[in-house]
Structure 1
Amino acid sequence: MKEGTVKFFNTAKGFGFITVKDTNEEVFVHSTNLLDDIRENDEVKFDIEKGDRGLSAVKVSLI
């Protein structure tokens, strides 16, 4: 699992971005892939999957 920080998350629209700790890469996250409720600046752990639109964080949970 990767670790990172929630850079942005819009609860009304159900999506946001996470900055990966080791690479500073940003990955998309959708509310359907959350195991916990998240907010900006939360520390999270997650897996990354490659989809049609690029990389997405899945199985996202708070550390």
Structure 2
Amino acid sequence: DDEGSDVFVHITAVQNSGLTGLNEGQRVSYELAEQRNGRVAAVDLALVD
């Protein structure tokens, strides 16, 4: 999606994906998963070229 939308990403999802951090505007692929608190967050992150 060229437009994109904001998705919540917990720092542990970044760390679990082997990334050291994310920069604003950086493109990533991800899966959405419901968290224990009922909110949806991005998991299984991967950088997109």
Indicate the TM-score class for this superposition, using the shorter chain for normalisation.
0.5 to 0.7
Q: What percentage of aligned pairs have identical amino acids?
A: 24
Q: Structure 1 stretches of 5 or more lacking a match? A: 5-20
Secondary structure at the aligned position of 1:33 is classed as helix
Q: Structure 2 stretches of 5 or more lacking a match? A: none
Structure having the larger proportion of residues in strand:
1
Secondary structure at the aligned position of 2:8 is classed as strand
Matched, 1:55 2:40: yes
Alignment partner, residue 33 of structure 1: 13
Equivalent residue letter for 2:22: I
Contact 1:46 1:59 in 2 (8 A): yes
Structure having the larger proportion of residues in helix:
2
Equivalent residue letter for 1:30: H
The Cα RMSD (Å) is: 2.4
Task: State the TM-score, normalized to the length of structure 1.
Answer: 0.53
Distance of 1:38 and 1:61 partners within structure 2: 11
Q: Alignment length, in residue pairs?
A: 43
Bigger Rg over Cα: 2
Q: 4+ residue runs of structure 1 moved beyond 2 angstroms?
A: none
